[in-house]
Amino acid sequence: MLHIAICDDEERDLKKLEKLILEYADNNDIMCKVFAFSDGVDLLTEKKKFDLVFLDIEMPGMNGIETAQKIREQDMSVPIVYITSYSKYWRSAYKVHAFDFISKPYDIKDIQEVFRDFFNMVKESESRVIPINTDKGVVYQNVEEICYLLIEQRKTILVGTLYSEYTATEFLSDLKEKIDSDQFFLTHRSCLVNLKYVNNLSKNDGVIMKDGTWLPLAQRKQMDFMYAMSRFMRKNQS
């Protein structure tokens, strides 16, 4: 699920932007949640990690450029789309790594172009994002944030991520092929784990993840699992 922040001190513009984003998401079967903020301070106090930020430049108090500078102190990669009617701010915006601009008054075509560029960037990004089918639509999931995949039923997979859990309507083998990474290990025919988030082995044929979740580990896979963990740790210490 995409987490999108929008920040504008004009309530009418804030509601319009939220409506356009949700309209685009609904028309394209994209799961997203929009978080609306009326000033930069409120946005900066939100602890949630966002996938995309729409930020008005002209705001009283802390303006959009100053807000973006604070965001960049914590997150250099989140795409920031600036909203402005004044071209004089564009040079300043690029200094804090502008992803895109939209000008007021904007419409659905502007939103479509932003998301087209966003998904093109995602495809080229080192932190890969894969589409995962759910009964509520397609989730565009950052592979690095997947902790585990666990079969609940034959074609129902519990996807455990850093931030939430949700159910995928795909085969585990298909998801494993999409992920295509030696950072993931098939601990059991029903379970694929991200070695990055493994804490230790449990005494009852299982793996304990860093969040405390217990996952199955087949006895015949224990030696291979320990070897994979050792190789992963050496690789990430070098």
pLDDT for the residue 237: 53
Q: How far apart are CA 225 and CA 214, in angstroms?
A: 15
pLDDT for the residue 87: 54
Q: What is the pLDDT of residues 101-148, one digit of tens each?
A: 888 888 999 999 999 888 877 766 556 789 999 888 888 888 988 999
pTM: 0.55
- Choosing among 3.40.190.10, 3.30.420.10, 3.40.50.2300, 3.30.360.10, the CATH entry for 2-124 is 3.40.50.2300
- Boundaries of every domain in the chain: 2-124, 129-237
Q: What is the pLDDT of residues 153-165, one digit of tens each?
A: 777 899 999 878 8
Please identify, in words, the CATH class of the domain defined by 129-237: mainly beta
pLDDT for the residue 96: 59
Q: Report phi then psi at 126, rounded to 5.
A: -65, -35
Confidence of residue 193 (pLDDT cuts 50, 70, 90): very high
pLDDT for the residue 142: 87
pLDDT for the residue 93: 55
Strand order across the beta sheet in which 191-194 lies: 165-168, 156-161, 146-153, 191-194, 184-188
